[in-house]
Amino acid sequence: MMKNINRVTLKLSTIFFIFSLSFCTKPPCKRCKTVTYENGVIINSSHETEYCGAALEKKESTPDVTTGALTTKVECK
């Protein structure tokens, strides 16, 4: 009888452990910076900052801005 209880406990513990691993996943993160180009040449670049989840999606959806020969864009990797 004790062997059966131990087996059931072990199986339930294993299932719980495997199930709990799915909640430990971190949302995708990237390091992003703002880069300004003049005629295709980098003339300014900000420091990289890490963004994750919804903040990363928002940052990556930032449109490029072009004024004359200057283009500023967000680059994430």
Q: Residue 27 — very low, low, confident or very high, per pLDDT cuts 50/70/90?
A: confident
Q: Domain coordinates of the chain in residue numbers? A: 2-76
Amino acid identity, position 32: C
Q: What is the pTM of this model?
A: 0.65
Instruction: Please say whether the beta carbons of 27 and 55 come within 8 A.
Output: no
How many residues does this entry show for the chain?
Answer: 77
How far apart are the C-alpha atoms of 54 and 36, rounded to whole Å? 24
Burial of 32 (0-12, 13-18, 19+ CB in 10 A): buried
pLDDT at 31: 98
* Sequence letter at residue 43: I
- Using pLDDT thresholds of 50, 70 and 90, give the confidence band for residue 13: low
Q: Both tokens of residue 7?
A: 């087996």
